[in-house]
Structure 1
Amino acid sequence: MGMAGWHLSRNKVLFFSCALFITLAVGVHLTPFFPSISNFLYKSSSISDSSLPTGTTSSSVIRDSCIFSLHSVLIYKSDYSECVDDAIDSNSDSGCKKMSWKWKQSGSVANCGFQRLKKPDVSVLLNGSWVVVAGDSQARLMVVSLLELVLGSDGMKKIRGDLFKRHSDYSTTVDEIGMKLDFMWAPYVRNLTNLMMKFKENKDYPDVILMGAGLWDMLHVNNASEYGVSLSALKDSVLSLLPVFRNVDSIDRETSESAWIRSPHLFWLGMPVLINSMLNTEEKRERMNDVMCNAYDDEVSRTKILRQSGGPLLKLDIRWLSDLCGTQCTVDGMHYDGVVYDAAVQIMLNALLLESNQKAR
């Protein structure tokens, strides 16, 4: 966690001044939440680096294996007798979520030690960070799940109206932990490309960037090949950011350049399963069919924009998660219950933990 703070914190001087406190906090408070991490690190050290390909290490191999196992989850009906305070769902008449989720606890997945992080842990992980979420309504629902985790249900009630203003941006700062969160309404891939170029022009970069687009393109353009061209341009714009510099006026970049090279943590938000019979307009049912959905997904794979195919963005697979949840988790065939986005947020947070630990090595 401390090393995650090093890579995600926007104020490195503050990090050094608080290093001892964070170390003690991890040891006393956070270790019980991550009982399998010590076992994971011990097992990673037992692998001989000499047996691996040149340029790799045992820790990087295990890290990558765990990152690509993050979607090994189960979604199931909740046991209402076990409902707790953080399981409140405002859309449920019962006061509890209809569905819940968990990671599979078998084989290599169990050894990775994935954990559902609570507010105190997320506050440490994202302390002082700038998080940008950009995309369409799916991205907005990710913001809801993340802020519910950070602010709690009472805090979300105060901002829900502003967050859900139609087709608009939203910004907030969580003063308690100094986290800035910006939601950018960006329904087309070209909007995302323009956003990346804006970051490069301003030389000021978020710590975490989560983005995704495709639903609007599918409905209003309906051309998978053109979508692929846009994805290729986005990939180029993202790669042009890496590595990047934090824009700190007080630093003489000519003398301290190497100390400030960094890269954002980059995520791609996949499109959900679209249940054609439940879509609410004839135009959607005609244009957003299974054939077109598959064609758009194929373009994401073909352009190699995802980490899974050697690209820069780690995919949060909403299609997989929404398919696990099924028709009982959606009323319009496109937007799903909070359990889908809650799981995706936790997958993202655990990826941040894994990446930060790897970089610390």
Structure 2
Amino acid sequence: MLGVVQFQFGALAACVVLFVPMAMAGWHLSRNKMLFFSGALFITLAVGVHLTPYFPSISSFVSSVSSIVVLENRTACISLLHNIVFDVKPNREIDDLSNLDKFEASWTWARSAPVVDCEFQKLGRGDASDLLNGSWVVVAGDSQARLVVVSLLGLVLGSEEMGSIQGDLFKRHSDYQILVDEIGMKLDFIWAPYATNLTDLMRDFKQNKNYPDVLVMGSGLWHMLHVMNSSDFGISLRLLRNSVVSLLPVSPELGNDGPVTGSVSIRSPHVFWLGMPVLVNSMLNTQQKRENMKDEIRDAYDEELYESKILRRSGGPLLYLDARSLTQKCGKQCTVDGMHYNRVVYDAAVHIMLNALLIESHQKL
């Protein structure tokens, strides 16, 4: 970036050297005076451009300005990742009203100018495989997290391979592991429905000194259903936040804009928080769910999430995958039980995550 700025400065200097003497000629200066001025100006500017890197204060200033611009652009694009539009239409081939595919749904990023400028990409199998090549991905949480795994594997595996793993992947309340040999990607799904389970997982990572490249976590639904105490949920999230911060191999001090890292000892993992979806109370399939998962209780849990400062937007370490926003946009046509949604929602969440990885790692495919 510094080299680009220096090139631009050099180009400006060349324009000055070329056009200023021409302007002066218009003032009827003598030929000798004009040549003398041109030569002096050229030498001064040339020396200035070439010596700039050797003056730390100037180089630091240029570098810091460039870094601020890059950081602002990156932060702006991260904040626009959820600007997604869903198109939901009845599926005329499906008559069973209990079938989750009774509506055909598709999604795309909004076409507003700021979103278009960020150049978000729907990744195909090849690009997603290149991005995740050699990575260790861990997804931990409840059934919502399991559905994210389904979408992620559906992107990097063929339909035949997906068919062969469906049985193992959908075993209730169980872990799942797979190694995608073609790209050397290892994926672990950890059944961890409570935030305390996630805290235990962080402790295991730290004790083993072995950290995933990408970590996606989420909880809340089980706590809401079986504990129904938002304050207790908030306490568990704060403990989890502390565990995640201690896990990161960078000793960060967290500010309002997210982690401010010191010296990095090893590569820091990319960590995401998968939020809870919109709960359509009238569609929930048990009386306990309808009683314990009302909108006001759901809102209290979300408030505790924000106040825990576990999310990057509130000064924490985790980037937010906002399932509430995505499920709200897709609508209740995209769910048959008021809690689990059409795969298109989780596909969108996976692409948000992958584009965030591209932005954070300064890559383009």
1:187 aligns to what SS in structure 2? coil
Distance 1:52 1:225 in 2: 45
- TM-score, normalised with respect to structure 1: 0.76
Name the CA shift for 1:145/1:117 in 2 (closer, same or farther; >3 Å). same
Spell out, residue by residue over 1:120-164, the C-alpha distance to the aligned partner (whole angstroms, 9 max, x if none).
001110000000000000000000000000003221110000001
Q: Does 1:114 align with 2:124?
A: no
Match of 1:206?
A: 212
User: Structure 1: which 5+ residue stretches go unaligned?
Assistant: 1-48, 82-89, 246-257
Q: Is the 8 A contact 1:235 1:305 kept in 2?
A: yes
Aligned position for 2:199: 193
Q: Among 88, 94, 98, which residue is 2:104 paired with?
A: 98
Listed as ranges, the matches of 1:1-361 within 5 Å are 57-77=68-88, 92=101, 98-243=104-249, 260-357=265-362
* Whole-angstrom distance in 2 between the partners of 1:55 and 1:291: 45
C-alpha separation in 1, matches of 2:218 and 2:310: 11
Larger Rg: 2
Q: Percent identity, aligned pairs only?
A: 61
Moved segments of 4+, more than 3 Å: 49-56, 78-81, 90-93
* Cα distance in 1 for residues equivalent to 2:249 and 2:65: 23
* CA distance 1:55–1:240, shift in 2 (3 Å): farther
Give the letter for the 1:117 counterpart.
Answer: L
For 2:77, the aligned partner's letter is: C
Q: SS of the counterpart of 1:240?
A: helix
Give the aligned length: 288
By how many angstroms is 1:166 displaced?
1.0
In 2, Cα distance between equivalents of 1:268 and 1:179? 21
Partner secondary structure for residue 100 of structure 1: strand
Cα separation, partners in 2 of 1:130 and 1:168, compared to 1, 3 Å: same
Residue 61 of structure 1 and its aligned partner are, at CA, apart by: 0.7
Contact 2:88 2:105 in 1 (8 A): yes
Secondary structure of 1:98's partner? strand
* Alpha-carbon separation, structure 2, partners of 1:220 and 1:77: 33
Over 3 Å counting, the alpha-carbon distance change for 1:319 and 1:103 in structure 2 is same
1:321 match: secondary structure: helix
* 3-state DSSP of counterpart to 1:115: coil
Q: Distance between the aligned counterparts of 2:280 and 2:91, measured in 1?
A: 27
SS at match of 1:109: helix
**TM-score (normalizing by structure 2):** 0.75
Mapped to 1, the partners of 2:276 and 2:312 lie a distance apart of: 16
Contact 1:52/1:58 (8 A) holds in 2: no
In the alignment, the residues of structure 2 paired with residue 121 and residue 243 of structure 1 have an alpha-carbon distance, to the nearest angstrom, of 28
Task: State how far apart, in whole Å, the 2-side matches of 1:118 and 1:188 are.
Answer: 33
1:325 maps to a residue whose letter is C
RMSD: 2.5
What per-residue deviation string (whole Å, max 9, x for no partner) do you get for residues 293-350 of structure 1?
0000000100111011111000100011001111110000000000100000000000
CA contact 1:327–1:333 (8 Å) conserved in 2: yes
Amino acid at match of 1:169: D
Give distance in 1, aligned partners of 2:161 and 2:154: 7
Structure-2 change in CA distance of 1:52 and 1:278 (3 Å) = farther
CA distance 1:50–1:61, shift in 2 (3 Å): farther
Q: Which has the higher contact order (CA 8 A, sep 6+)?
A: 1
Give me the whole-angstrom Cα distance separating, in 2, the residues matched to 1:188 and 1:300. Answer: 13
Maintained 8 Å contact 1:224/1:292:
yes
Where structure 2 has 5 or more consecutive residues not aligned to the other structure, the ranges are 1-59, 93-98, 252-262
Q: CA–CA distance in 1 between the matches of 2:67 and 2:288?
A: 50
